[in-house]
Amino acid sequence: MITRTTNLIVRYAETDAQGVVHHSNYLVWFEEARSDFLRQQGLAYSDLEASGFFVVVTEVAVTFRAPAFYEDRIAIETTLVKARGRLLEFGYRIHNAMGNLLVEGRTRHLVLGGDRRPVSLPEPVLEKLLTTRH
Give the percent of the chain with pLDDT over 70: 99
Q: Which residues are catalytic?
A: 16
Domain boundaries, position 38:
2-130
Report whether pLDDT(104) > 90. Answer: yes
Confidence of residue 75 (pLDDT cuts 50, 70, 90): very high
The predicted-structure confidence for 7-30, as pLDDT tens digits, reads as follows: 999 999 999 999 999 999 999 999
Cβ neighbours of residue 89 closer than 8 Å, sequence gap 6 or more: 80, 81, 82, 83, 106, 107, 108, 109
How many Cα atoms occupy the beta-carbon half-sphere of 42 within 13 Å? Answer: 11
* CATH number reported for the structural domain that contains residue 59 in this entry: 3.10.129.10
Q: How many domains does the chain have?
A: 1
Claim: this prediction has a pTM higher than 0.75 = yes
Q: State the Cα angle at 67 between 7 and 91, rounded to 5°.
A: 55
